[in-house]
A = this chain, B = another copy of it.
């Protein structure tokens, strides 16, 4: 049997070893079905998506229908934003926490491996009490997620313009891993974003020092600015800037990472082109980068 027949979804050179995810930041649509259509048409096999919209659809149409929506398009849920506001007042946090089990169960059945959120690089509150209050909340979320075989991914945020508050929080890989250790839940991992890796001037060697199982999720994007000048919401598509993404992915390949890579390109304004076009251009950019690995 010719390989062509066995492998109906041809995968570009070098692109087979991670799972590129369409990210909501790339598109204008907020309709889940339209979003999945775009993902499938552009050639993705996974998406990052708003789990709130997914749960709403499950409630309206049932899990079977939603599962079919994903499977008919060959799409899995790669990861999703933690649907709990860990920065909010206690009542808001608790309300989110109570909704988490349903979201986690739905997301896990659609293929998700992690729910992710991020950390401020600097804070105005006293840093240790602030970190401690967050740790309590992360631990609670992580325990709910563990029951569905999901991890909680914590993303450090690197851009220098966000470091100006009164005290530093964590914004390097090493410090974020130390913070995760301090929280003490076994299923919390790192969300490694190329933008933050670049703006903290981390190296490929730094990535190679991380045990692969500690990386829960990966974001990719680009910038044409030097590390200290890159602005968080002025990102470029992967391969359209100067971040050494080949080195980034080579290091990830070296440690054995084979999970989702979500193309998160935060911007002030949406892209001008049609959603499908952006989705394709993003994936093509990622594939070019991966081909160099």
Q: Which of A82-90, A183-191, A193-201 contacts B (4 or more CB under 8 A)?
A: A183-191
Chain B hits for A270, CB < 8 A: none
> Residue-by-residue, is A38-58 near B (CB-CB < 8 Å gives 1, otherwise 0)?
001100000000000000001
Q: Mark A1-26, 1 if CB is under 8 A from B, else 0.
A: 10100111111000011000000000
User: A67 an interface residue at 8 Å Cβ cutoff?
Assistant: yes
**By the criterion CB–CB under 8 Å, are B105 and A139 in contact?**
no
Chain A, residues 52-74, CB within 8 Å of chain B (1/0): the string is: 00000010000110011001111
A274 at the interface (CB under 8 A from B): no
Asked, given contacts A132-B179, A216-B149, whether A6 binds B109 with beta carbons under 8 Å apart, the answer is no
Is A182 at the interface (CB under 8 A from chain B)? yes
In whole angstroms, what is the CA distance A256 to B174 when docked?
Answer: 39
Inter-chain contacts of A266 with B (CB < 8 A)? none
Closest to A9 in B: B8
Closest to A104 in B: B213
Q: Which residues of B contact A58 (CB under 8 A)?
A: 256
Tell whether, in the assembled complex, residue B71 and residue A17 are in contact, meaning their CB atoms are under 8 Å apart: yes
The residue in chain B whose Cβ has the minimal distance to the Cβ of A214 is: B147
Q: Is the CB of B128 within 8 A of A41?
A: no
Complex: how many Å from CA A49 to CA B175? 37
Interface size class of A (residues with CB under 8 A): 35 or more
| Dominant SS among interface residues on chain A | helix
Q: List 22 A-B contacts (CB under 8 A).
A: A6-B73, A9-B9, A9-B74, A11-B71, A17-B68, A58-B256, A71-B258, A105-B213, A109-B258, A113-B113, A113-B149, A127-B127, A128-B128, A128-B179, A129-B174, A131-B131, A132-B179, A133-B182, A136-B184, A147-B186, A167-B168, A182-B183
Contacts of A143 in B (CB 8 A): 186
Whole-angstrom distance between the Cβ of A143 and the nearest chain B Cβ: 5
Q: Which residue of B lies closest to A169 (CB)?
A: B128
Quote the shortest CB–CB distance from A163 to chain B (angstroms). 12
Q: Is A148 an interface residue (CB 8 A)?
A: yes
Is there a chain B Cβ closer than 8 Å to A257's Cβ? yes
Pick from B110, B179, B187, B213: contact of A187, CB below 8 A.
B187
When C-beta atoms are compared, the residue in chain B nearest to A16 turns out to be: B71
* Chain B neighbourhood of A114, CB < 8 A: 149
Are A181 and B133 interface neighbours, CB within 8 A? yes
Say whether, besides A7-B72, A167-B127, A259-B109, A253 and B64 are in contact (CB < 8 Å).
yes
Q: How far is the CA of A90 from the CA of B170 in the complex (A)?
A: 22
